[in-house]
A and B are shown apart, each in its own frame.
Chain A
Amino acid sequence: MRRQLLSQHLVHVLMNNSAIGSAPSKPTRDPGLPPDTLLKWYDEMLLIRRFEEKSAQLYGMGKIGGFCHLYNGQEAVSTGSLGAINPEDYVITAYRDHGLAISKGVDPRAILAELLGKHTGTTKGKGGSMHIFDREKNFLGGHAIVGGHIPIAAGVAFASKYRGEKRVCLCFIGDGATNIGTFHESLNLAALWKLPVIYIIENNKYGMGTAVARASAVEELHQKAAAYDMRNEVVESGYDVLAVHKAVKAAVDHARATYEPSLLEIQTFRYRGHSMSDPVSGHYRTKEEVETQKKLDPLVVFAESLKRDGLASDEYFENAEKRIKAVVDECVEFAENSPEPPADELWKDVYFERGGF
């Protein structure tokens, strides 16, 4: 049923737009958003896209190891969501974390250095791709055990409320992760105790090679909130950064005003394989499906809307490519020229010994 709705949405959007994305983005544009902010968002999404493409290339060259999960296709979720919070707010996610880290302001050079296992990386080479952390930026990690971070997000929100603060925590969750126990325990706790956490399901339609309908009894994932009487919303046009922003902003405002949590389902799509070691398509999804979804590319949709609104010209986008390429090149240079962690790093940070904070 959900799948049918989805494809109808897609067909509707594709058929009714000469300029792709005009229908869904127009009504969502918040007039309060300054043009500068919108252009910054575009640049950020482009940076995430190009950063991931570079990561794929470096992985192919054997410079990045282990599991590496790329964010291509999901950029509007990251930028739209994090555009709705302040630097002091918290973000926590699973292992597909490069894009969200970039949106949270983590230095992309340090992220790439981390992927290369360098001492200048976000975690000194300890965590790798799946475990990007940045205390200063309130980026509480990449977490590689599915569901592991979901209750932790509730705990972070608990601390905010405990101290009487208005800081919220955005917690990103895969569609597959909504089937694990911690998801349900956390939703109950957050709703019961009114914790200012916004759970954001990045429904990219597959958990590894398993389609949502093959793993979840409820296909409309946001409806899982009903069991906990939690505020919830679905964003079908998750390729539209403005639509994402609007939904997340409403949830954040609500959390700040009432301490109440929300569950948002943002429908999106991952262009690449689950990780760099998995196929883009195969038994679980067809090439055609991937190609069709790519027609609603978050970057293209956003660029079209910026042009239509007269906020950016072709020249702007050409320059943006150049600027972003320079940033990515700088990341590569920084990462490649950074040293490996020294041998004694192995024994550091096993127990906390520097005194409290």
Chain B
Amino acid sequence: MAVVSIREALNQAMDEEMTRDERVFLMGEEVAQYNGAYKVSQGLLQKFGPRRIIDTPIAEAGFAGVGIGAAMVGLRPIVEFMTWNFSLVAYDQIVNHAAKMLSMSGGHFHVPIVFRGPGGAAHNLGATHSQALESIYAHIPGLKVVMPSNPRDAKGLLKTAIRDDNPIIFIESEVMYGEKGEIPDGEYTIPLGVGEILREGTDVTVVSWSKILQHVTVKAVQRLAEEGISVELIDPRTIKPMDWELIFASVRKTNRLVIVEEGWPFAGVGAQIVDEVQKHCFDDLDAPVERVTQEDVPLPYAHNLEVSSLPNIQRVIRAVRKAMYLD
């Protein structure tokens, strides 16, 4: 087992897949000469050359479309968005073209492409640069949405995403690139749509992913454990397809559910989980499902307002206690 950062894990995944498959190439702003705005593609230009590691102009709609076109006729592009916020400029390409191509063409053209980059808030970046956009992509039929929370998953899931024959939305976290963890030696992949139980518990199920999972939920769960509350913690790892059976089985055991996510509440991913759980586990629930989200406002720049809007440990503890009728 080697210990690597998420940045290195993603780099290894791209490196290995590009070595394995000549059709795979990486394209995006500053990915080549600058080694990536967040250095995820460090060294890849040197290794694979400018034919396969390609700096683009600031033209998200354009280069996302170039990726889709290349994928339609047999290449397997990885398109990096400097951050997912900028993918909104390319939203039409992704939603109207990548996602619908297979269906609309009656199966003539599939689009094996990975769109990847960091999502969510970092620190004081303001409303346009801090968005957790997984729900607006998960909303779209034809897309898969992947959100790893550690180096092992980052590498294994990205390799699978690159080999997948569908458009994949792969959302990383800007503030987690330096975080380290163990990864298996040698070649491995992790399937999409398979979640993981990070901690077994009996009192309440908590579902959470990506940065909020690691920076907020895990810590809250530890504190709850000290209070004697046994949380079963689930990292779905893939938002779409969601590992429903894993969540249902856990809820049938604990009879309570709390969902903690970074995004906004309205039509968020958590809302979808609530819907599926009430459909499939209605008789198993002992309490209403609780959600912890960002407040329903554009995220302000000022530090005090920013932290007051985002989910925090206190709010997770409160939600769990509420689901257990302890408050």
Chain B residues in 8 Å Cβ range of A145: 85-86, 88-89, 128
Docked-complex contact A66 and B297, CB < 8 angstroms = no
A188 located at the interface, meaning its Cβ lies under 8 Å from any Cβ of chain B in the complex: no
Tell me, rounded to whole Å, the shortest Cβ–Cβ distance linking A92 to chain B: 15
Determine the chain B residues whose CB is within 8 A of the CB of A261 once the complex forms: none
Please name the residue on chain B nearest to A340 by beta carbon: B304
* Contact of A65 with B123 at beta-carbon distance under 8 Å, contacts A126-B300, A343-B304, A347-B297 already known: yes
Which of chain A's residues 113-138 have a Cβ closer than 8 Å to chain B? 114, 117-119, 123, 125-131
**A66 touching B305 by the CB < 8 A rule?**
no
Which of the listed residues B123, B126, B129, B301 has the most CB atoms from chain A within 10 Å of its own CB?
B301
Docked Cα-Cα span, A305 to B82, in Å, equals 43
The yes or no answer to B61 lying at the interface (CB within 8 A) is yes
The reply to whether B86 and A181 contact each other, CB–CB distance below 8 Å, is no
- Whether a CB of chain A sits under 8 angstroms from the CB of B34 is yes
B308 within 8 A of A: yes
With contacts A66-B123, A346-B308, A347-B297 taken as known, whether A341 is within 8 angstroms of B302 at the C-beta atoms is yes
How far is B124's CA from A117's CA once the two chains are assembled, in angstroms?
9
Chain A residues within an 8 Å CB radius of B297: 346-347, 350
A118 to chain B, nearest CB (A): 7
Judge if A209 is at the interface, Cβ distance under 8 Å: yes
Interface assignment of A345: CB less than 8 Å from any CB of chain B: yes
Question: In the complex, which residues 120-152 of chain B have their Cβ closer than 8 Å to any Cβ of chain A?
Answer: 122-129
B29 on the interface (CB 8 Å rule)? yes
B30 lies within 8 A of chain A by Cβ? yes
- Minimum C-beta distance from A350 to chain B (A): 5
In the complex, what distance in Å separates the CA atom of A181 from the CA atom of B58?
A: 9
Question: Which of the residues A67, A128, A208, A340 comes within 8 Å of B34, measured between beta carbons?
Answer: A208
Residues of B35-66 whose CB lies within 8 A of A: 35, 37, 55-62
In the complex, the number of residue pairs spanning A and B with C-beta atoms less than 8 Å apart equals: 130
Interface string of A335-355 (1 = CB under 8 A from B): 000001101011100100000
B301's partner among A66, A176, A209, A214 (CB-CB below 8 A) is: A66
Give the secondary structure class of B's interface: loop
Within 8 A of B (CB), among A76-126: 114, 117-119, 123, 125-126
A316 in contact (CB, < 8 A): no
0/1 interface trace, chain B 74-96, chain A, CB 8 Å (1 if under): 00000000000110110000000
Instruction: Report chain A residues within 8 Å CB of B59.
Output: 179-181
Q: Is B303 an interface residue (CB 8 A)?
A: yes
Q: CB distance B34 to A125 under 8 Å?
A: no
Task: For B30, give its contact among A146, A148, A181, A208 (CB under 8 Å).
Answer: A208
Question: What bracket does the count of chain A residues touching chain B fall in?
Answer: 35 or more
Q: How far is the CA of A144 from the CA of B126 in the complex (A)?
A: 9
B243 at the interface (CB under 8 A from A): no
Indicate whether A144 sits within 8 Å of B128 (C-beta atoms), given known contacts A125-B300, A180-B60. Answer: yes
Asked whether A343 and B308 contact (CB < 8 A) given A65-B303, A66-B301, A210-B55, the answer is yes
A207 is an interface residue with CB less than 8 A from chain B: yes
Closest to A348 in B: B297
The residue on A at minimum CB distance from B309 is: A346
Contact call A144/B129, Cβ cutoff below 8 A = yes
* B33 contacts the other chain (CB 8 A): yes
Across-interface contacts of B61 in A (CB, < 8 A): 180-181
Question: Are the CB atoms of A350 and B60 closer together than 8 Å?
Answer: no
Assess whether A346 is in contact with B123, with CB atoms less than 8 Å apart. no
A283 within 8 A of B: yes
- How far apart are A124's CB and chain B's nearest CB, in angstroms? 8
Residues of B within 8 A of A210 (CB): 29-30, 33-34, 55, 57
Verify if A216 is at the interface (C-beta below 8 Å from B).
Answer: yes
Q: Judge if B178 is at the interface, Cβ distance under 8 Å.
A: no
**Does B284 count as interface, using CB distance less than 8 angstroms?**
no
Interface residues of B in 235-269 (CB under 8 A from A): none
The reply to whether A214 and B55 form a contact with Cβ atoms under 8 Å apart is yes
Contacts of B126 in A (CB 8 A): 66, 126-128, 130-131, 144
* A215: Cβ under 8 A from any B Cβ: yes
Kindly list chain A residues whose C-beta atoms are within 8 Å of the C-beta of B35. Answer: 283
Q: Are A346 and B305 closer than 8 Å at their CB atoms?
A: yes
**Interface residue B298 (Cβ < 8 Å from any Cβ of A):** yes
Residues from chain B with Cβ under 8 Å of A207 in the complex: 57-58
Q: How far in angstroms is the closest Cβ of chain B from A119?
A: 8
Could you jot down 26 A-B contacts, CB within 8 Å?
A65-B123, A66-B123, A66-B129, A114-B301, A117-B301, A125-B301, A125-B302, A127-B126, A127-B301, A128-B126, A144-B128, A145-B128, A146-B58, A147-B58, A147-B89, A176-B58, A177-B58, A180-B59, A208-B34, A214-B33, A284-B33, A340-B303, A341-B302, A343-B308, A346-B308, A347-B295
B residues with CB within 8 A of A:
29-30, 33-35, 37, 55-62, 85-86, 88-89, 122-129, 295-298, 300-305, 308-309
New contact pairs (19) apart from A128-B302, A131-B126, CB-CB < 8 Å: A65-B123, A65-B303, A66-B301, A118-B302, A126-B305, A144-B129, A145-B86, A179-B58, A180-B57, A181-B89, A207-B57, A208-B30, A209-B33, A214-B33, A341-B302, A341-B304, A345-B300, A346-B309, A347-B295
